[in-house]
Amino acid sequence: MRIRVAVIGGGSWGTTVAHLAAHTAPTVLWARRSDLAEELNSLHTNERYLPGYALNPDLWATDSLREAVDGADVVVMGVPSQGFRSALEAVAEHVRAWVPILSLTKGLELSSGLRMTQIVNQVLPGHPAAILTGPNLAKEILAGDAAAAVIATPDQVVAQHLQRIFHQQLFRVYVNPDVVGCEIAGALKNVIAIAAGMADGLGAGDNTKAAVITRGLAEMSRLGEAMGGQFATFSGLAGMGDLMATCMSPHSRNRSVGDRLGQGHTIEEVIEEMNMVAEGVKTSKVVMDLAGEYEVEMPISKEVFAVCHEGATAADAYRGLIRDQDGGVEHPTLSYR
């Protein structure tokens, strides 16, 4: 019997993962909007989120959650972090017992500070929880560029089954039992990407941006280890790899948010312009709460939080790290501890 996959969420990454899965297993994508489901079935496109890209014609879509989940052997959650719990609660009404839940979400729940697998364990106890993470930009994958990802779960049997679904010639999938490290890396890299984007918007040099990325990785590692993650995870695909892609790519939502902030736009203006969620904005608040709880210094994340939530500007965050109009410098604000 072939494994049947249900992907919940018709955004850019959920659609891309469903496209990949459809190459090896019968796959259905649940989309909230009926017109999107119809477009996917008739035209094999998702022009709102992935304009110009053709999708696997074997991928089927529906706006009925029951239809998508009923009979699925794997449920893939591709919804933003702040809607993850409510979407999973809806899935729980239809999913069969013991079906693995694979999260694509790189964020932390604002109200609780929980990781997505922790929410899975609360809402669907007994269901194996796993994540798919790594340097995976949806449009590059659909364009046929090679990429690599990590499936993290403590159950190696589940990990191997999931690996077989998604592993392909140009999309290599590795396994890692360090769920905590992989999830924290995936969430925090979005915060650091906002800082890197601010450097672009302010016109800072590559040296400055490289320093921010490198010290951002150190922040990610410190908090991740304090929470129980493994140091090696942060130098791998889920850590450094994902951080580099998100901080450098013009396709990165979080880097783009930082870029617009660096150009002088307010966070409200930036969010209003977007049709997709940039997880790093809300995650920055949770990160600062966790930094306090675990007594970890995170100066770059602190500056991102100040810009996103306290009315500071990107120029405030980078004061002392960029040249002013008179060619001088001031005392550094964005610390590199």
Active site residues per annotation: 189
Angstrom distances, CA of residue 213 to CA of 2, 104, 165, 210, 242: 43, 23, 33, 5, 11
Which residue reads 């994508």 in tokens?
A: 29
Angstrom distances, CA of residue 2 to CA of 22, 27, 37, 56, 171: 12, 11, 23, 18, 21
CB burial string 275-291: b at 16+ within 10 A, e below: eebbbbbbbbbbbbebb
Radius of gyration in angstroms for the set of CA atoms belonging to the chain, rounded to a whole number = 20
How far is 255 from 131, CA to CA, in rounded Å? 22
Question: Which residue type is seen at 304?
Answer: V
Are 215 and 191 in contact, with CB atoms under 8 Å apart? no
**Phi/psi of residue 225, nearest 5 degrees:** -65, -40
Residues 6+ apart with CB under 8 A from 111: none
3 state SS of 277:
coil
